[in-house]
Amino acid sequence: MSTRHFLTLNDLSSDEFRTLIQRAIELKAMLHRRERYEPLKNRVLGMIFEKSSTRTRVSFETAMIQFGGGAIFLSPRDTQLGRGEPIEDSARVLSSMVDCIMVRTFDHGQLELLSRYSKVPVINALTDSYHPCQLLADMQTYQEYRGDIKGKTVAWIGDGNNMCHSYINAANLLGFKLHIACPEGFEPEASIVESAAHCVSVMKSPEEAVVNCDLIVTDVWASMGQEEEATERLELFAPYQVTEQIMALAHDDALFMHCLPAHRGEEVVAEVIDGKQSVVWDEAENRLHTQKALLELLLVNQEPVRE
């Protein structure tokens, strides 16, 4: 049996994605009823973080504890990864001990390399190219507030970044339309847009992008690793701020999402992120429930592939 990884949303079929959302909703209800469910007793998740994190770290660690297992936080500062041990060697060693490896890193190619040498499932917890775990939570949140997202229209406003790429994958898998408004030169990768050309439109104007939309999403203007560009981007991205005027052009019941952390007064004004249409706190909480559903899919009833 080959090891199943979760490197992008395309590692799921459309049906699996929908089932995972439903399962996350069930797991959330079970937790809120204080029902004990420990399907990963004695199983261990290794968590490699080469970038900062609040939500991802806490949600994966909590998920493993609630599931009866454990998680080990590994940063390059205090592992041999930070001293140049090849990723292939680290993958072989870690996967001979832990049951799953979660990775947050820069280059998506490094994640793919690690997965090739890992005997256990590898989960993408954000690379420069994708953030699929966040989309699981966003789609659960939409489902809870408005039902199936199929046939709806979503506007992505801002940088054509890792989150935007994962939104493109989600549009393709779940059947929604995606309007992307980015400053020139900050569009998503052309090959990723082409992979979902039937449901994705790239535009310049945020005003045009949000018309008739059911969900408005944005993210920071400078992602982790782009700190040096942050000042220059402030000016270039200023017309892409999500304001109350922008929200007013969408459907009256449109929701607002942001993966967080947010910069109020930059990509979104406080009145929107802290306003009635914003569902960012549920979105953040749902990281826990969707990742539990993901861990269950990858690890429960799957025998570890050890030689």
Decide if residue 249 touches ligand NVA (CB under 6 A): no
The answer to whether 174 and 200 are in contact (CB under 8 A) is: no
Of residues 248 through 307, those in contact with ligand CP by CB under 6 A are 259-260
DSSP-derived secondary structure for 169-210: HHHHHHT-EEEEE--TT-PPPHHHHHTTTTTEEEES-HHHHH
Q: Which of 120, 268 has the CB closer to ligand NVA?
A: 268
Q: Which of 88, 147, 146 is nearest to 118 (CA)?
A: 88
**Known catalytic residue at 104:** yes
Binding residue (CB under 6 A) for ligand NVA from 31, 44, 199, 224: 224
Local structure of residue 112 (DSSP, 8 states): H
Helix, strand, or coil (residue 265): coil
Cβ nearer to ligand CP, comparing 136 with 155: 136
According to CB under 6 A, which residues from 100 to 129 bind ligand CP?
A: 126
Residue in 8, 9, 21, 56 binding ligand CP, rule: CB under 6 A: 56
Active site residue 146: no
By CB under 6 A, how many residues form the interface with ligand CP? 8
Nearest residue relative to ligand NVA (C-beta) = 223
Which of 219, 266, 283, 296 lies at the binding interface for ligand NVA (CB under 6 A)?
Answer: 219
Binding segment for ligand NVA among 31-39, 216-224, 232-240, 248-256 (CB under 6 A)? 216-224
Q: Does 162 bind ligand NVA (CB under 6 A)?
A: yes
What are the DSSP E strand ranges found in 34-138? 44-49, 70-74, 100-104, 122-124
Candidates 157, 163, 171, 209; binder of ligand NVA (CB under 6 A) is: 163
Report helix, strand or coil for 263: coil
Beta bridge partners of 181: 157, 203
Exactly one of 13, 22, 54, 80 binds ligand CP (CB under 6 A); which one?
54
Alpha-carbon distances, residue 245 vs 75, 210, 239, 248, 268 (angstroms): 42, 11, 12, 5, 11
Q: Does 43 bind ligand CP (CB under 6 A)?
A: no
User: Which residue number, 51 or 251, has a Cβ lying nearer to ligand CP?
Assistant: 51
Alpha-carbon span 159 to 128, nearest angstrom: 12
How far is residue 179's CA from residue 201's CA, in Å, rounded to a whole number?
Answer: 5
87 interacts with ligand NVA by CB under 6 A? no
Q: Reply yes or no on whether 22 is catalytic.
A: no
Which of 160, 204, 162 lies closest to 186 in space, CA to CA? 160
Q: For the chain, state the CA radius of gyration.
A: 19
If one asks whether residue 226 binds ligand CP (CB under 6 A), the answer comes out as no
**Annotated catalytic residue, options 5, 43, 131, 179:** 131
Interface ranges with ligand NVA (CB under 6 A): 126, 131, 161-163, 219-220, 223-224, 259
Q: Which residues are catalytic?
A: 104, 131, 134, 219, 259, 287
